[in-house]
Amino acid sequence: MNRVLRGGVSALGCLLAAAVVVVAVPQPHAAEPVTISYRGDLAKLARLAPYSAVAPEGLPASWQPVSSGLPVGGANGAGTVTWQLGYMTPDGSLASLEETNASAAGFVRRMTNNGTALAPARLDGRTWSLSSTPARGQRSMYFTSPAGFTVVVTGNATWAELRDLVGSLRPVAG
């Protein structure tokens, strides 16, 4: 076998071996969610919200905040303030607080993924509507105040965990 052919076969063998290693060895994934601080969004919410905003208070440290966003205007329309705060629950599920002064029907439909209505629940003196979207493993609790703001607590967390999040909601001092 000539040298050029032997070198080519050798190089091809090395490339195949490298490809096998890349495919066979899984990439490491984050074992723990990245905890974020939502303090900045909460302070901005207190300044900008034209409604009586609420935020969780007193959740155990095992509830890890993993996302927060505060779009003003945008997809929900001019003059709207919308806050999204996502948590990883102690058992690794997701639970999210979504609140806005946008049109309630469309907002609830989007946040619940057109969930199927269930019997309402009474928590902390307020009646919450419940819905479920089984195909997504999603459960949702929501209400719209007479003042025109809507709060949705949703995720693949258990009903008990969603109730814990609802029970932690307190008015934001602004």
User: Using CA atoms, how far apart are residues 86 and 89, in angstroms rounded to an integer?
Assistant: 10
Q: Contacts for 122-126 with beta carbons within 8 Å, 24 or more apart?
A: 123/163, 123/166, 123/167, 124/166, 124/167
Q: Distance between alpha carbon 70 and the CA centroid of its chain, in Å? A: 13
**Within-domain flag for 89:** yes
Does the reported pTM lie above 0.85? Answer: no
Tens of pLDDT along the chain (174 residues)? 566 556 555 554 444 444 444 444 455 445 577 999 999 999 999 999 999 999 999 999 999 999 999 999 888 888 899 999 999 999 999 999 999 999 999 999 999 999 999 999 999 899 999 999 999 999 999 999 999 999 999 999 999 999 999 999 999 987
State the residue range of the domain holding 64. Answer: 39-171
Task: Kindly report the length of the chain.
Answer: 174
**Within-domain flag for 88:** yes
**Total domains in the fold of the chain:** 1
**Within-domain flag for 90:** yes
**Within-domain flag for 9:** no
CATH number at residue 74: 3.30.200.100
**Within-domain flag for 27:** no
**Within-domain flag for 53:** yes
**Within-domain flag for 6:** no
**Within-domain flag for 66:** yes
